[in-house]
Amino acid sequence: MDERLRLYHVEDASGEIRACVVAHTVKDAKQMIWNHDFVHDVDWIDLRVSWNKNADIEGFGRGVIDTEEDCLKAIKKGIFHYQGDGCEYCGYNEECSKHLNRPIEERKGD
């Protein structure tokens, strides 16, 4: 098995991004997200997982990006590109908007 970690976006059948997962493979990412609240209303067959080839995942461990700290780090690295209720996935932190309004190159210095 390839031991490199990669970033995967998890979408439902309609194309809505439900989560980002740092995992070894697509199968690994799908298995990790399956019991998570982010996909509680999605059938297994409707989960779509795709590799974000250019993502900077340095500093992330294997798992679902679902904590306030990791979400803010993902925004600063340019992994997340928009804000819902505070954060693309979690809705925890209003500080996110100040980073999202700046170019990714400037965010990385924070």
35/82 same-domain check: no
| Domain of residue 82, residue span | 67-110
82/95 same-domain check: yes
Give pLDDT tens digits for 24-43.
Answer: 999 999 999 998 888 888 89
Residue 86 backbone dihedrals phi, psi, to 5 degrees:
105, -45
Give pLDDT tens digits for 90-102.
Answer: 555 566 666 666 6
pTM of this structure = 0.78
50/91 same-domain check: no
Instruction: Out of 31-35, 41-45, 76-80, 84-88, pick the least confident.
Output: 84-88
**Tell me, what's the pLDDT at 78?**
79
**Tell me, what's the pLDDT at 50?**
92
81/43 same-domain check: no
50/82 same-domain check: no
72/104 same-domain check: yes
Domain count within the chain: 2
